[in-house]
Amino acid sequence: MVEVLEKAWKLYQKREQEINEVNVYRQNIQAIEKQMRTFQGNIDSKELELRINNLNPIYFDKIGLVITYRILRGALEECLRYWKVK
């Protein structure tokens, strides 16, 4: 009986941990989506530069999207360089 209760408790703890991880993921995805909305619409190069600087890597890092953040930031900075040359 004790073994069954211990196994049940471990399963419950694992379930709670996974639920917490999913919640963290959801919250961070929402934060990333909110950051990305600032890049929609018509903006000039100075505004783009400010928005790039305000892009927060913390939310990307929390859910394992470090490389995605770097690529995104690099692409936006490349757009900015292109606009400045133009």
pLDDT at 86: 66
pLDDT at 85: 79
C-alpha–C-alpha distance, residues 64 and 57, integer Å: 11
pTM above threshold 0.75: no
What are the phi and psi torsion angles at 38 (to 5°)? -70, -15
Residue that wins the pLDDT comparison between 86 and 73:
73
In tens, the pLDDT along 1-54 reads: 889 899 999 999 999 999 999 999 999 999 999 989 888 888 888 888 889 998
The three-class DSSP label of residue 42 is coil
C-alpha–C-alpha distance, residues 68 and 61, integer Å: 9
